Amino acid sequence: MSHGLVIGKFYPPHAGHLALVRAALARCDRVTVQVLGSSQESLTPELRASWLRAELPGAHVVAGLDDAPVDYASPEAWDAHVAVILGLLDAPVDVVLTSDSYGAELAQRLDATWLQVDPGRRATPVSGSAVRADPARYWWALPSGVRAWFVRRVVVLGAESTGTTTLAEDLTAHFGLPTVAEFGREWSEVRPGGLAAPWHTAEFDLVAREQARREDDAATASPVPLLVCDTDVLATTVWHERYVGRPSPSVVALAAQRVPDLYLLTGDEIPFVQDGMRDGEHLRHTMQDRFRDALTAQPAPWVELRGSRAERRERAIALVDPLLAVPRPLAEPLEQRHGDPERVSRLRDSVA
């Protein structure tokens, strides 16, 4: 078979979709995958397509908007969908591969052969609706990019010597998460000129980008839809002001693109501990006020935690638990009508 076609919403992509496309790649010289999303859905078709391209480099993945009603018994709906499909094709197809029985009708309309793969999804028991309802249950079935999207992100930040790393490590251990360490501290240890040399905006750009990269990498590897980070790009904007004396437009812009689900601000009521790297004891309370201002100005919820290590940990867990329990929401796709293949067949026969 020369050219195979796989279509779907891929809302979101999962192991069943990947198995279907890989079956097509094994049978066809060329495979086109069409991601057909509606405008009411939360994930753009192009974003879903990018996730598939990362997992399936051998396939030609394209994305399109398809807002036609999903009604398998409506010739008008079929005409509208096929028009979108044909508009995305750059060459005729020989075979249509689907798990569901609508593939028979689609193949006929495209003058192609229909090949059904894993009917009833017995080999890969997962569906988009099941993933949307409970992504944690189907975590095993999600590509890394989809996992990263579903991960709820919690950031611990605060002024020097307020226990941010301690709390982040306690939460990471409690929930069994990968560590997202503070790159800024590592850079401080190796930067040219040491701690005494003047700081430059380019350094904070480096710190911000590397911190974001570490966070994103950890999100793809997390065993559950949760991540706890020791600082983030927003904190980098505050430290840039501290050491350079003014905001950094580039770091501020990056922080605006990376709003987490929750900020935990560690309190400054505990004693200051000098570890050889800290230089801001005289500014600690002023910096804490600056963190409060920065958090108030951004859209994510935030809570300041004070008290003993155990008290902070207990309250933080109580704040984070609901995030892990409630999946990141996705809008429902267009309603599907007359999806039962036997009913569709009866309707078609009655029309004939």
Residue 335: partners with Cβ closer than 8 Å, 6 or more residues away: 70
- pLDDT at position 345 is 45
For the chain, strand residue ranges (E) read 3-8, 30-37, 60-65, 70-71, 95-98, 113-116, 152-157, 226-230, 262-266, 302-305, 336-337
Amino acid at 55: E
Q: 87-100: per-residue pLDDT in tens?
A: 999 999 999 999 99
pLDDT at 218 over 50: yes
Rg (CA), the chain: 26
d(CA 235, CA 157): 7
Contact 138, 128 (CB under 8 A): no
> Burial level of 30, CB count in 10 A (0-12/13-18/19+)?
middle
What's phi and psi for 252, nearest 5 deg?
-60, -40
What value does the mean pLDDT of the chain take? 92
Is residue 5 within 8 Å of residue 110, measured between CB atoms?
A: yes
- Percentage with pLDDT > 70 across the chain: 94
Q: How many Å apart are CA 203 and CA 177, to the nearest integer? A: 28
pLDDT for 352 beyond 50: no
Q: Which residue has the higher pLDDT, 279 or 241?
A: 241
Residue 346 has pLDDT above 70, yes or no: no
Smallest Cα–Cα separation from 60: which of 119, 144, 2? 2
Average pLDDT over residues 209-229: 97
Q: Are 112 and 93 in contact (CB under 8 A)?
A: yes
Q: How confident is the model at residue 278 (pLDDT cuts 50, 70, 90)?
A: low
| Residue 248, amino acid | S
Q: How many CB atoms are closer than 10 A to CB 165? A: 17
**pLDDT tens per residue, range 131-144:** 999 999 999 999 99
